[in-house]
Chains A and B, each alone.
Chain A
């Protein structure tokens, strides 16, 4: 157990070092890809809270991404709020939206919940489209261009995204071992029994969704500032929702590092293997979905732990035993 903890510690330290130095030496193209990986890791990690730990498949969570993007854009463009303030507000607005929606929607389960969140996404997009005076309607909306060099701007965006990823991963880490985390896992396993065990299921589910929405909204806000132009077709796109959901399943729902691993692996697959067929991008997503569900239903993280890590440990042990035997026979 302690060994395991030390190993995780070393991994995290190395990862952190790589993620903080890499952007300083990468070219613009690769920095963009790395930022994209981090963004999808945030989205998958946020989804992990409500879907992985609590068992509510929030495919329509992309609504908070769009809401965060539009909130940031509106606050910066119409009111002239500085980016950090606009971003924080965007997170809070998304969280509030989840709190209000949570009460009716989290009463539904399984497929019904999926459909309800998708419905909310469509309805919200329509609303945004029709509030022309605020959102620019179908034309989209541009954000103020930052007055700094383009390279330093992209590095700023990268680090903002990274800070968000670290915060929500830390949150998931601490929640997963707290009583609140136990409550969420109990709800995922059996909601009725959870209620009978004294868990206020409505409050816990809503809390989980609010946290999920907050971080998703932040990611949306950074995305808007990053691209300096947004339109509702893009930021409320269900494809984004499907993508971070697949990443979550690929990496391992209900694990702390699964979403990070998933985002990284997904980008690799996207980049190197099927990147050659840009017109078949959605097909790739579809194929990947099918393969994940069939071959790694529990995610890569758990697969690595059981199929690769344990056999490797067994091999080392076997070698160790053989070594001591050989030593003995030499003596004898």
Chain B
């Protein structure tokens, strides 16, 4: 059985349908990419899975259990972690305290002994910043902190919303490395991402969304060759460049 099942989910904001009868499944252990143009409904999808928004129709099952309609914190404690597109650190708390919050409340057992906060900070390379207030952090470090905080929840499923956006290529590679590593350790990942470099490097399957609908689900290589995907998202330029590099290789 799939770890996450999204069935015919619709979310409407006034007249706009941010999600329009969307269905797909995510299997245990995979890194599942979600791509699509701005406004396709990717963030809304993650919001509805983590319980911030209720779907107006359809249902979401996690480990076969109906979770749509449950409060956010309950879904978190069932093992669903979330990293926001726009970083949302807890101001007034230090870096370590930010992570500690996740350790205190996010896990099913409410003891911190099971979560090694310092090991998590070390994993994301922030151990030396532990006692700093979050207001001092750079954008890249804030992104890493979001990551660390989500890891402190000990999730089985981690939802990432454009964590690579706006980062330098070296930072993208660093975070990609962490994503792969935690995935090897057993965390299933749903990754909304515009940075194709990261998508190609990590995902086994990619969902392409357009106007709240499912456009295609396939391996990243196949998706980038799909004409419909090129049309609505990647653009002719990208396709030509890919074709061009392929041509050069052949020639």
**What 1/0 flags go to B18-57 for Cβ under 8 Å of A?**
0000000000000000000000000000000011100000
Interface contact A189-B52, CB-CB below 8 Å: no
Judged by a CB distance under 8 angstroms, whether B93 is at the interface is yes
User: Once the chains are docked, how many angstroms separate the CA of A190 from the CA of B72?
Assistant: 14
Chain A residues contacting B72 (CB-CB under 8 Å) are 192, 195-196, 201
User: In terms of DSSP, what is the predominant structure of the interface of chain B?
Assistant: loop
Determine if A198 is an interface residue (Cβ-Cβ < 8 Å).
yes
Question: Which B-chain residue is minimally distant from A193 (CB atoms)?
Answer: B88
- CB pair A179–B88 under 8 Å, yes or no, is no
User: B104, A179: Cβ atoms under 8 Å?
Assistant: yes
Which partner residue on chain A sits nearest B87 by CB separation? A193
The answer to whether A188 and B52 touch across the interface, beta carbons within 8 angstroms, is no
Cβ–Cβ contact B101 & A183, under 8 A: yes
- On whether A182 and B50 interact (CB within 8 A), knowing A198-B76, A199-B105, the answer reads no
**Residues from 179 to 219 in A contacting B, C-beta threshold 8 Å:** 179, 182-183, 185-186, 188-190, 192-202
A305 to nearest B CB, angstroms? 14
Whether B92 pairs with A201 at a CB distance below 8 angstroms is no
Q: B91 within 8 Å of A by Cβ?
A: yes
Residue pairs across A and B with CB atoms within 8 Å: the count is: 76
Residues of B within 8 Å of A182, CB to CB, are 93, 97, 100-101, 104
| Chain B residue at minimal CB-CB distance from A53 | B92
Per-residue CB proximity of A103-115 to B under 8 Å, as 1/0?
A: 0000000000000
Closest to A179 in B: B104
CB-based nearest A residue for B149:
A197
Docked pose: A118 CA to B34 CA in angstroms: 46
**A258 at interface, CB cutoff 8 A:** no
Tell me which residues across on chain B come within 8 A of A196, comparing CB atoms.
50, 52, 72-73, 76, 82, 84
CB-based contact B71/A198 at 8 Å: no
Asked if A254 lies at the interface with its beta carbon under 8 angstroms from chain B, I say yes
Asked whether B77 is an interface residue with its Cβ less than 8 Å from the other chain, the reply is yes
CB < 8 Å: which of A183, A189, A200 contacts B91? A189
Any chain A CB within 8 A of the CB of B153?
yes
Q: For residue A254, which residues in chain B have a CB less than 8 angstroms away from its CB?
A: 92
Q: Report which residue of B71, B90, B107 has the largest number of chain A beta carbons within 10 angstroms of its beta carbon.
A: B90
State the CA gap A179–B107 with chains docked (Å).
13
Q: Which of B71, B104, B105, B153 has the most CB of A within 10 A?
A: B105
Is the pair A201, B73 in contact by a Cβ cutoff of 8 Å?
yes
Contact partner of B92 (CB less than 8 A), chosen from A188, A194, A198, A199, is A188
Which residues of A approach B to under 8 Å, CB–CB? Answer: 179, 182-183, 185-186, 188-190, 192-202, 254
